[in-house]
Amino acid sequence: MFDTSHPLYPIIGQWHAKIRLAWEAKRKLFQDDADECMKFFNGPYDFLYGLKTNQGGKGFVYTGDMSDAPRPTFGMTINKTAELVQLFGPALYHRNPVRKVNPRKQPVLPPEAFGVGQNPAGMLLFQKIAMKSQAQQTQDQARAALLEHYLNWTPAALDLKTESRFAIVEALIKGAGLLMPEVHAPEGSTLRLVGSFNKSIDDLVIDPDAERLSEAKWVALRYTEPYWQVEETYQLPPESLKKYASGESSEQQSQTASDPNGDYNRKRGITNDTLTYWKVYSKMGFGGRLSGLNQAPDAPLRQATDPLGKFLYLVICEGCPYPINVPPEITAALINIPDLTMQQMAQQEVMRRCQWPTPYWADDAWPFTMLAFHPVPRQTWPMSHLKPGLGELKAINWIWSMLVSKIRTACRDFIGVMKAAGEELKNTIKSGGDYEIIEIEQMVGSIDQAVKFLQHPTFNPEIYTILTGLMNLFDKRTGLTELLYGLSATQMRSAEEAAVKGEQVNIRPDDMADRVENWMTDVSRMEAFCARWHLTGQDVAPAVGEAGAWLWDQLISASNPGIILHQQEYRIEAGSARKPNRAREANNMQQAMQQLFLPLLQYSQASGDVVPVNALMAAWARSIDLEAGPFVLKPPPPPPMPPAANQAV
């Protein structure tokens, strides 16, 4: 329960109410489908055959009375979701992409536009502007070189490949994945690094009033950590947050387990008492304008919080009446102290503590980059790649389970034996060898009338036709065509047919790969801005050297943030993140060697320039996993000095 006597109780309580509304909106638009897709990927697989409720239209819903619905005795899962992840994942992200940073090009203007050739003043103006532009271009090129080198150094140091793979897998299964650029300080080191780290999409809620992420006025991210760690991070008194943390008692654990929203509210602490809290990033101020507050503009709460600005950052947890990132004595001083000077000092301290850690709002962005393959118009939440095929996937699983259950039943053998046949005949049938002679003393009628095998009726072959049709429909929905598996139902009759099929089968993976590369471009842009905001030359010296560290302080740390955001162009080298086709690459390089090696060798012998031929041999060696060092040519020695020069020396 909140401490209703605290002056900020109305605002903090409304923030929690808005988070619950956002969570409910997310659940309907995104989370229910995401959770269901995740169950198909990693279980629990028995969820599909539970007949307790119809889950409000979600899950595998039967019509009529649920208790009368047929339930297979053998529940199985055809894990097409795992196939999707294993086939698409490696094609979307194979290695850390090559990041490119270039200064934005300025237009080339004709000198005549300045009056050059018509009056001396025009010439002087043109020369002055040209010299200033050249100096600015030199600085921009140095700035771009530093950023590019650093942005290509940190991915390996901070394992961006693993973090990105987690986000891509979540995007494939659930519909969206996140990376968050953050400052990382290794334990026991004063060095600070900037990298991007995965945060589950399950922990994000977005302003439910927005139809696009860029239109949202606030977002919130959920975290669960030991309460003492949160106290250390935000410099709060020891044990001050313990009463808001989840305990380890069996009673508390059972309450959390029985609560359908238990995972939303908190996670159970197994080795520590954990605290679930939210980081709220607001573009609408401290919260004085939240609906439901009923605060007039001249109310004390509005007067105290409105001057704090629009772009604020709050850390809140259920039950705590004040933001965790602001000590309670400071928040109380906003309203309770009548002295105007003291109140202004309190406002300045709150503003300092509630600023976004990195002001991504300057780029109209949030502190994360979202990867979504299928955005939905007029909706902040995207659609899962699996959602269009969920109906077919459920039907496939249920039909296969019913068929396997039918096999389990049909595999049993029943033998009908007349009582008059005698015990000896019955015993021989039950336990005789594979070749037995049975003597029958007397029998009325034929032996078929005394002994009869009871057989189940055969399966209706139309069931398999329906099942095949459903699997084909699901494969079309998701792109799991036979060519992705390296299979083909029919033999291709020409190279042109193979090329057409290959082009068509790659339409969907290529589009998804383009989205991944655009996403990684945004990630590099945000990392560059985060590095500008937090790092000094001392932090980047291990990556760029002492000279680069000095220039970092001069050209990046001291620069206007807008220069980093708007005067530099960030991009990912095309295809640098995708898994290469080794056979095709080797074949292409073999053809290139046949066509280009001899002309380039002749050029190098005539000019002494061995760079082109060495580059060709290096690419060829890389395509077949060889070390290029032994094959490269050394540049020729410089020509001898002329006799006159020797005499002068």
The kind and range of the H/E element at 218 are strand 218-226
CA distance 370 to 216: 14
What digits encode the pLDDT tens for the residues 594-632? 888 898 888 888 888 888 888 888 888 877 777 777 778
Which pLDDT score is estimated for 72? Answer: 75
216 versus 74: the higher-pLDDT residue is: 216
CA distance 13 to 19: 10
- Strand locations in 69-119 (E): 99-103
356 versus 254: the higher-pLDDT residue is: 356
| Residue 427 CB partners (closer than 8 Å, separation 6+) | none
Q: Are 168 and 152 within 8 A, CB to CB? A: no
Cβ count near 649 (within 10 Å): 6
Amino acid at 89: G
Q: Are 492 and 502 within 8 A, CB to CB? A: no
Q: Are 276 and 19 within 8 A, CB to CB? A: no
User: Mean pLDDT across the chain, nearest whole number?
Assistant: 79
Nearest-CA neighbor of 48 among 479, 477, 396? Answer: 396
CA distance 189 to 194: 14
Which pLDDT score is estimated for 313? Answer: 94
- Which residue shows structure tokens 């057409």? 500
CA distance 72 to 401: 6
Q: Is the peptide bond before 44 cis (omega within 30 degrees of 0)?
A: yes
CA distance 591 to 142: 38
Is residue 283's pLDDT more than 70?
A: yes
Is residue 264's pLDDT more than 50?
A: no
CA distance 104 to 208: 37
Phi, psi of 452 (to 5 degrees): -145, 130
DSSP letter assigned to residue 108: -
Is residue 501's pLDDT more than 60?
A: no
* % of residues, the chain, pLDDT over 70: 75
DSSP letter assigned to residue 623: H
Cβ count near 53 (within 10 Å): 10
Phi, psi of 218 (to 5 degrees): -160, 155
Cβ count near 337 (within 10 Å): 13
Which pLDDT score is estimated for 496? Answer: 60
Q: Are 78 and 128 within 8 A, CB to CB? A: no
Radius of gyration of the chain (CA): 35
Nearest-CA neighbor of 304 among 251, 345, 343? Answer: 343
Nearest-CA neighbor of 476 among 411, 342, 385? Answer: 385
* % of residues, the chain, pLDDT over 90: 28
- CA distance readout (Å), 172 to 121, 166, 227, 513: 63, 10, 33, 12
- Strand locations in 428-509 (E): 451-454
| Residue 160 CB partners (closer than 8 Å, separation 6+) | 96, 154, 195, 196
State both tokens at 600: 């380039």
State both tokens at 565: 């955001």
Which pLDDT score is estimated for 377? Answer: 93
